[in-house]
Chain A
Amino acid sequence: MTNLVWLVPLFPLIGFLINGIGWRKMPKGAGGVIGSLAILASFAVSLGIFFEVKSSGTSTVVHLFDFIQSGKLYIPFAFQVDALSSLFLLIINGIGFLIHVYSTSYMHDDEGMVKYFAYLNLFVFSMLLLVLGANYLIMFIGWEGVGLCSYLLIGFWFKNRDYTNAAKKAFVMNRIGDLGFLVGMLLILFNYGTLSYNEFFGQLNGGTVQLSPNMYNWIAICLFIGAMGKSAQIPLYTWLPDAMAGPTPVSALIHAATMVTAGIYMIARSNALYSLAPMALNLVAVIGLATAILAASIAIRQYDIKKVLAYSTVSQLGFMFLALGVGAYTTAVFHVMTHAFFKALMFLGSGSVIHAMGGEQDIRSMGGLGKKMKITSITFLIGCLAIAGIPGFSGFFSKDEILAATYAHSPIMYYLALGAALMTAFYMFRLYFLTFTGSFRGTHDQEHHLHESPAAMTIPLIVLAIMSVIGGYVGLPAVISEHHTFNTYLASVVTNFGHHHLEHSTEWMLMGLSTGLVIIMIIVAYNATKKPNFKPNTGLAKVLENKWYVDELYDTIIVRPLLALSSAFDRFVEKMGIDGVVNGVGKTVRWGSDRVRLLQTGQVGFYIFIMVIGMTLLFTISFFWVQ
Chain B
Amino acid sequence: MPIQYYLFLSLALFCIGIMGTLMRRNAIIVFMCIELMLNAVNLLMVAFSKMYNDASAQIFVFFIMVVAAAEVAVGLAVIVMMYRKVHSVDINILNRLKH
Check whether chain A touches chain B (CB < 8 angstroms).
yes
Partner of A602, one of B18, B22, B95: B95
Residues of chain B at the chain A interface (Cβ within 8 Å):
18, 21-22, 25, 30, 91-92, 94-99
Tell me if A600 and B97 are in contact (CB < 8 A): yes
The answer, yes or no, to whether A603 is at the interface (CB within 8 Å) is yes
Tell me if B91 and A601 are in contact (CB < 8 A): no
Expressed in whole angstroms, the Cα–Cα distance for A605 and B94 within the complex equals 10
Expressed in whole angstroms, the Cα–Cα distance for A601 and B94 within the complex equals 10
- Give the secondary structure class of B's interface: helix
Tell me if A604 and B97 are in contact (CB < 8 A): yes
Tell me if A600 and B98 are in contact (CB < 8 A): yes
Q: B68 to chain A: closest CB distance in Å?
A: 18
Given contacts A601-B95, A602-B94, 7 further A-B contacts (CB under 8 A): A601-B98, A602-B96, A603-B94, A605-B25, A605-B91, A608-B22, A612-B22
The answer, yes or no, to whether A190 is at the interface (CB within 8 Å) is no
Tell me if A612 and B18 are in contact (CB < 8 A): yes
Expressed in whole angstroms, the Cα–Cα distance for A69 and B54 within the complex equals 78
Expressed in whole angstroms, the Cα–Cα distance for A612 and B99 within the complex equals 23
A612-623 CB contact bits vs B (8 Å, 1 = yes)?
100000000000
Residues of chain A at the chain B interface (Cβ within 8 Å):
600-605, 607-609, 612
Q: A20 to chain B: closest CB distance in Å?
A: 59
Number of A-B contacts (CB under 8 A): 30
With A608-B21, A608-B22, A612-B18 as contacts: A602 and B99 at CB distance below 8 Å: yes
Residues of B close to A600: CB separation below 8 A: 97-98
Residues of A close to B96: CB separation below 8 A: 602
Expressed in whole angstroms, the Cα–Cα distance for A319 and B22 within the complex equals 99
Tell me if B91 and A603 are in contact (CB < 8 A): yes
Residues of A close to B98: CB separation below 8 A: 600-602
In the complex, the chain B residue whose C-beta lies closest to that of A603 is B95
Residues of B close to A602: CB separation below 8 A: 94-99
Tell me if B92 and A603 are in contact (CB < 8 A): yes
Name 5 A/B residue pairs within 8 A (Cβ), A-sorted: A602-B99, A603-B92, A603-B95, A604-B91, A609-B22
Residues of B close to A612: CB separation below 8 A: 18, 22
In the complex, the chain B residue whose C-beta lies closest to that of A609 is B22
Expressed in whole angstroms, the Cα–Cα distance for A608 and B23 within the complex equals 11
Q: Nearest 4 pairs between A and B by C-beta?
A: A602-B98, A602-B95, A602-B97, A603-B95
Partner of B92, one of A605, A607, A608, A609: A605
Expressed in whole angstroms, the Cα–Cα distance for A603 and B59 within the complex equals 36
Residues of A close to B97: CB separation below 8 A: 600, 602-604, 607
Residues of A close to B91: CB separation below 8 A: 603-605
Residues of B close to A604: CB separation below 8 A: 91, 94, 97
Expressed in whole angstroms, the Cα–Cα distance for A612 and B18 within the complex equals 8
- Of A601, A603, A607, A612, chain B has the most CB atoms within 10 Å of the CB of A603
Expressed in whole angstroms, the Cα–Cα distance for A605 and B25 within the complex equals 8
Expressed in whole angstroms, the Cα–Cα distance for A600 and B22 within the complex equals 17
Expressed in whole angstroms, the Cα–Cα distance for A602 and B99 within the complex equals 7
Residues of A close to B25: CB separation below 8 A: 605
In the complex, the chain A residue whose C-beta lies closest to that of B93 is A603
Expressed in whole angstroms, the Cα–Cα distance for A491 and B22 within the complex equals 104
Expressed in whole angstroms, the Cα–Cα distance for A602 and B97 within the complex equals 4
Expressed in whole angstroms, the Cα–Cα distance for A608 and B27 within the complex equals 13
Expressed in whole angstroms, the Cα–Cα distance for A376 and B19 within the complex equals 109
Expressed in whole angstroms, the Cα–Cα distance for A608 and B98 within the complex equals 14
In the complex, the chain A residue whose C-beta lies closest to that of B27 is A604
Residues of A close to B22: CB separation below 8 A: 605, 608-609, 612
Residues of A close to B18: CB separation below 8 A: 612
Q: A545 to chain B: closest CB distance in Å?
A: 78
Residues of A close to B99: CB separation below 8 A: 602
In the complex, the chain A residue whose C-beta lies closest to that of B92 is A603
Residues of A close to B21: CB separation below 8 A: 605, 608
Residues of B close to A605: CB separation below 8 A: 21-22, 25, 30, 91-92
Expressed in whole angstroms, the Cα–Cα distance for A604 and B99 within the complex equals 13
Expressed in whole angstroms, the Cα–Cα distance for A342 and B2 within the complex equals 119
Expressed in whole angstroms, the Cα–Cα distance for A618 and B18 within the complex equals 16
Residues of A close to B30: CB separation below 8 A: 605
In the complex, the chain B residue whose C-beta lies closest to that of A612 is B18
Expressed in whole angstroms, the Cα–Cα distance for A130 and B91 within the complex equals 85
In the complex, the chain A residue whose C-beta lies closest to that of B94 is A604
Residues of A close to B94: CB separation below 8 A: 602-604
Expressed in whole angstroms, the Cα–Cα distance for A439 and B22 within the complex equals 110
In the complex, the chain B residue whose C-beta lies closest to that of A607 is B97
Q: A443 to chain B: closest CB distance in Å?
A: 79
Expressed in whole angstroms, the Cα–Cα distance for A343 and B92 within the complex equals 95
Q: B42 to chain A: closest CB distance in Å?
A: 19
Q: A165 to chain B: closest CB distance in Å?
A: 59
Expressed in whole angstroms, the Cα–Cα distance for A601 and B91 within the complex equals 12
Expressed in whole angstroms, the Cα–Cα distance for A600 and B92 within the complex equals 13
